[in-house]
Structure 1
Amino acid sequence: MTKEINSKILADFHKNLNQDASNNILKNAVAQVGIFQTAQNSDVKSKLNPTFNITVPTGKVSNQKRSGRCWLFSSLTNLRTEFAMKYDVADFELSQNYLSFFDRLEKANYFYQNIIETANLPVTDRKVNALFSRPNGDGGYWQYATDLIKKYGVVPDYAFPETAASSNTAEFDSVIGIMLRKNGIELRELVNDNKSETVINERVDEMLSEIYKVCVYSFGQPPKEFELSIGTDSKKMIEEASITPKEFLKQYFTMKLDDYVDIINAPQDSKEFGKIYTVEATGNMVGGQKTTYLNLPIERLKELSIAQMKGNDTVWFGNDVGKQSHRTKGLLSGDLHQIDQLFGIDTKMSKGEGLDYKQSEITHAMTLTGVNLINGQPNRFKVENSWGEANGEKGYFTMDDQWFDRNVYDVVINKKYLSADELEMLKQEPIVLAPWDSIA
C-alpha cells in the first residue's frame, strides 16, 4: 500500500471545492448548525401528519430515561395495553424496574454458565471475546421479556418504582461489568484447574449472591406480594389486599405470550427467506426459551403488522432508530436528512449490505400502535416510543413507509396471523448464527 496524501493532491482538492460558489454557503451552514440540520428535508413534517385511520387505543408513553431497556418497555406496552382496555385504565403502567432487576440477575448467571462452558477455549477465541465484551448489558429482545414475565410475573409501577440507578444504568453497568469479568476469570481458572462441579457451582452461588446485593442496592427489593389498588377511569376500584406478581399476571392478563413469534427482515446473501435462525450464546436466562427468528421479505413484515393492529393488538418492533430520525420532533422518514444532496455524494447501499458491513444494526425497540392506509396501502405508521412525552407528539412518533422498509428489522407477531406455509416454516430446526452476527 503506497498511496499517500501529498501537497499536490491537497491543492487539487482545494481547487475543486472552490470552483462552485455554493460550496462556501453550504460550508458556513454546516459549520453553524451541523450536518443533519442543514440537510433536513423541510417537506417531511407536512407529509408525516400524525393522524391515522387505524389505531390501537393506548395511553401515556413511558420513559426509559438513560437506560437501554427499550425492549422491556415495548414488551410491557403490549401487556399494559390489554389491561388498560379490559379494565378501563388508560394510563396504567407496569413496573419495568421489577423485571429489569431479575433480568440483570439472570444475565449474570447466564454469563457464568457460558464462561464455564467455554473455559477451555483460549482467551483470544472470538466467542470468549464476545462473552467478555458484553457480560451484562441492559439491552434485550422480545423473548427475553417473555421468559422474565412467565417466570417472575408482573407488578404495577407503584409496587416497584424506578430508582436513580434503574433510570440511569451507566454506573450499575460499570460496577456489574467489572464484577462479572473478574468472576469470569476466576471461573475459567477453576475449570482449567480441574476443580469439581460441586466446587464450581458453590462459587457461582457466592458470586450470584454478590450480584443480588448490588441489584437490591441499585433497584430495590422486589416484592413477593403487594397490595393491588388501581382506580379506573370510570371511578371504580380494582383491589386485592395481597397478591403475588405471578397471581397478578394469571388473574388479570389473558395475553398468551407463547403465541407470539419474531419475524425478521435480513435480506442478506448469508440468510435465506423462509428459514429459522437463532444466535449462539445469546440470551438472558438459563432455562429460558431460545430466541428464534423467521426471515421473511419486508413486505410480509408490513402485512403482518397491519393485520395485527387491525386486530386491536400493538406490535413490538426492533429497528435502527438512529438513522433518518428526529428525536424531539418525533419523525422517522427515509428522506429526512438529504446528505447525498448536501455533499454531492452517493452513500446508498442495500439493506443487506448495511447489515453485512456494519452500517446498520438493531439498536432500539418501539411499538407500532397505528397505521394510515390509502387504498389499502400504508403511507405512515404511529409509533409509541419510550423516551417520555417531551419528544414527538406527547411521546408518539410518526414513521413513513420508506423508513419501515429501510430501518425495521424485527416484528413480533401472533401466530394466528401467519399463513399455513409460514406456520410450517416455524417447525424447522433453527440455523445457528455466531454471537457476533449482524442480527445479534
Structure 2
Amino acid sequence: MSANDDTKRNRQALTLAQIGEWDARFAADERARLAMNAVARTSVDEVALDREKMLGVQLSMSHRLDDWEAANQKRSGRCWLFAALNLLRADTRKHLGVKNFEFSQNHAMYWDKIERANYFLEDMIDLAGQAPDDRVPMFLLSNVLDDGGQWNMEVAIFEKHGAVPKALMPETESSSNTYRMNGSLRTLLRKGARLLREAAEQGARASALDDLKQAIMGDVHRVLTIHLGVPPTSFEWRWNDDEGKFHDAGTFTPQEFLAKYTDITLSDYVCLVDDPRSEHPKGRALTVAHLGNVVGADPVLYLNTDAETMKRISAETIVAGETVWFGCDVEPQMEDKEGLWSAGLIDYSTTYGVDLETTKEDRVRYGDSAMTHAMLFTGVDLVDGSPRRWRVENSWGIEKFDKGFCTMDDSWFDEYVFEVVVRKDRLPDELKAALTEEPIVLDPWDPMGALA
C-alpha cells in the first residue's frame, strides 16, 4: 500500500467539536429528549415495548403437555441440567403415579463438576508444550469449570453416574449460588494446571503426572463435597403416590434408578443446531475442540440444519407426547414480567431513533448472540400444521411468568433459538447420513461452543 493510498488512515481521537455538534443535534430533537425523559424514570424495555405485539402472543396451545410445577435453578448456571432432568422426569412422574417429582440437580452438578475438573487437567497435560498465554491454553484457563453445558455432556453424566430423587441429595447453599464454590475450585485447578505443566516440561514420567493429577483431584473432591455434600451410592426408595398408596421399591444405585423410572434411551437423541454462518454448511455435523466433561465419553456433536427443520421435528415430538430440550439466546426481545418472547417485541430502534436491526448470522459472527440458556418445550400451538407459538418450561421458579412457564412466538424461534434435541429416528435421511461423517471441528472459542 502506497503512502498516498486513500485507504490508509491513522487512528482518530474524538474532538470536543464533534461532541458539541452531537449535543446540539440531540437538544434540537424533540423525540430524543422525550425518550430521555421516559427512560430516566422507566426501564427502557418498558418504554420500547410494542404493546400490540405483546397482546398478540396469546397463551393458548393446541398441544400442551405440562401439568406440573416448574423448577428453580436459583443463582446458578445449571439451566442445561434442569432442562434435561425436566425432560427425564416426565417419564418418572408416570411411573411413580405423582404429579410433581424432581431429580436432584445438585447430584447432576456434583458429577459434572468433578468430571469436568478431570477433563480440564487432562487438557492441561496434553497442552503442556504450549505457553499458558497461547490462545488454546489461555481460553481453557479463562473458562474453567463454568456452570453451563451442552446436551452430550449431560448424557455423559447420566450414563456414567445415573440420577437420584431430589430428596436424596437436596440443594445446598452452594448448589443454588455457585459463585464462591466456583471461585475456589478455579483457583485450585489453575494452580494444578501450573504444577502439572511444570512437571511435564521437566520431563516427569507419565506415572508421576498421573499421581500428581490424582492428588489435585483429591483436593477438588474435598472442596466440592464440602460445598455440595456426599452423593449417594445406593439408597432405599419408598414413596406415596398421589392417591395415597404406599410403595416400597427396594434399594437402587443411581444408575439403576434412572434406568427403572425413565423410558428414554439417551443415545437415541441428537442435537440439531442452527449455525447461520455460510462457511458451515447445512446438513453437516459439527463439533467443538476441547468441549466436554467426561474423558472417554462421546464428544459434543451437532447436526447443522435450518430452523424450519428444527421446528417441524420439535412440533412432531410434542404432538407425539414428548417434551423437547432446546438452547437459545434467552434475553433479547423478552417481556420478563409475563414471560413472552417475540421478534421485534422490544422496539429499541424506534425508541433510540437508531437502526439496531441485524441478522442472526451477523449477531453470531460479531459476538452479539450465542446460546446462553437451555429450557424445555412443553407445548406448541399449530394452525394448519404450522407452529405459531411455543410453550416453554423455564427453570426460574414458579413465582415468575405463568407459574414458571413462558410463551414464545414462532418468530422468536427463527432469530434466537440455536439448538433442539430430538430422536434420531425423526431425522430426514440427509441428516441421518451426516451422523456417519467426520464432523467439522470448530475452535474452542467458537460461538457454537457457548454453554447453555
User: Cα distance, 1:58 vs. partner?
Assistant: 4.2
Number of aligned residues: 440
Summarize the alignment of residues 370-389 of structure 1 with structure 2, pairs less than 5 Å apart: 370-389=379-398
Q: Following the alignment from structure 1 to structure 2, what is the Cα–Cα distance between the partners of residues 343 and 327?
A: 21
Q: Which residue of 2 aligns with 1:161?
A: 170
Letter in 1 for 2:214: D
CA distance, structure 2, for counterparts of residue 439 and residue 298 of structure 1: 15
CA distance in 2, matches of 1:57, 1:85: 13
Listed as ranges, the gaps of 5+ residues in structure 2 are 1-9
Alignment partner of 1:179 out of 179, 188, 209: 188
Name the residue aligned to 2:123. Answer: 114
TM-superposed deviation, 1:7: 3.1
> Could you say what secondary structure the match of 1:239 adopts?
strand
Check the 8 A contact 1:58/1:81 in 2, yes or no: no
Q: Name the counterpart of 2:306.
A: 297
Given the superposition, is the C-alpha separation of residues 414 and 58 from structure 1 closer, same or farther in structure 2, using an over 3 Å criterion? farther
Task: State the match for 1:98 in structure 2.
Answer: 107
| Conserved? CA contact 2:91–2:261, under 8 Å | no
SS at match of 1:43: helix
Give the deviation of 1:2 after TM superposition: 4.5
Q: How far apart are the structure 2 equivalents of 1:264 and 1:434?
A: 16
Cα drift, residue 4 of structure 1: 3.1
Instruction: Tell me, yes or no, if the aligned pair for 2:32 and 2:353 is still in contact at 8 Å.
Output: no
Return the match for 1:412 from 421, 428, 433: 421
How far 1:62 moved relative to its partner?
0.5
Give matches, 1:182-197, under 5 Å: 182-197=191-206
SS in 2 for 1:288: coil
**Matched position secondary structure for 1:439:** helix
Structure 1: segments with no counterpart, 5+ residues:
none
CA distance in structure 2 between the aligned counterparts of 1:233 and 1:419, rounded to whole angstroms: 41
Distance 1:414 1:238, change over 3 A: farther
Q: Distance in 1 between matches of 2:297 and 2:337?
A: 37
Q: Distance in 1 between matches of 2:45 and 2:384?
A: 34
Report the 3-state secondary structure (helix = DSSP H, G, I; strand = E; otherwise coil) of the residue aligned with 1:91: coil
Deviation of the 1:194 alpha carbon: 0.3
State the secondary structure of the residue aligned to 2:379. strand
Shift of 1:88: 2.5
Paired letter, 1:340? S
Structure 1 residue 273, shift from structure 2 partner: 0.3
Any idea what SS the aligned residue of 1:124 has?
Answer: coil
Q: Among 54, 66, 69, which residue is 2:63 paired with?
A: 54
Query: What is aligned with 1:365?
Result: 374
Superposition deviation, residue 417 in structure 1? 1.0
Match of 2:239 in 1: 230
1:259 aligns with 2:295: no
- CA drift of 1:234 comes to 2.6
CA separation in 2, counterparts of 1:200 and 1:213? 20
Letter of the 1:300 counterpart: T
* Match for residue 243 of structure 1 among 235, 252, 260: 252
Counterpart among 116, 124, 136 of residue 133 in structure 2: 124
Instruction: Provide the C-alpha distance between the structure 1 equivalents of 2:180 and 2:73, rounded to a whole number of angstroms.
Output: 16
Deviation string for 1:128-167 (max 9, x for gaps)? 1111011111111111111111111111100110000100
1:277 is paired with a residue of what secondary structure?
A: strand
Deviates more, 1:422-431 or 1:176-185: 422-431
* 1:71-115 deviations in Å (ceiling 9; x for gaps): 000011111011113433111110010111111000110001000
User: 2:140, 2:321 → 1: CA distance?
Assistant: 39
Structure 1 CA distance, aligned partners of 2:298 and 2:187?
28
In the alignment, is residue 81 of structure 1 matched against residue 90 of structure 2?
yes
Q: Give 1:426 deviation, angstroms.
A: 1.3
Distance in 1 of aligned mates of 2:76 and 2:336: 16
Residue number in structure 2 paired with 1:199: 208
Does structure 2 conserve the Cα–Cα contact (< 8 Å) formed by 1:58 and 1:369? no
Q: Which amino acid aligns with 1:267?
A: P
Please name the residue that 2:34 is paired with.
25
Cα distance in 2, alignment partners of residues 230 and 295 from structure 1: 43
Query: What's 2:406 paired with?
Result: 397
Aligned 8 A contact 1:165 1:171 in 2 = yes
Query: Which amino acid is 2:430 matched to?
Result: D
Q: Give the partner amino acid of 2:24.
A: K
- The equivalent residue for 1:15 is 24
For residue 124 of structure 2, what is the amino acid of its counterpart?
Answer: I
Say whether residues 1:39 and 2:48 are aligned partners.
Answer: yes
Q: Secondary structure at the match of 1:230?
A: strand
Q: Cα offset for 1:414?
A: 0.6
For normalisation by structure 2, the TM-score amounts to: 0.95
**Partner Cα separation in structure 2 for residue 380 and residue 168 of structure 1:** 33
- Compute the RMSD of aligned alpha carbons: 1.3
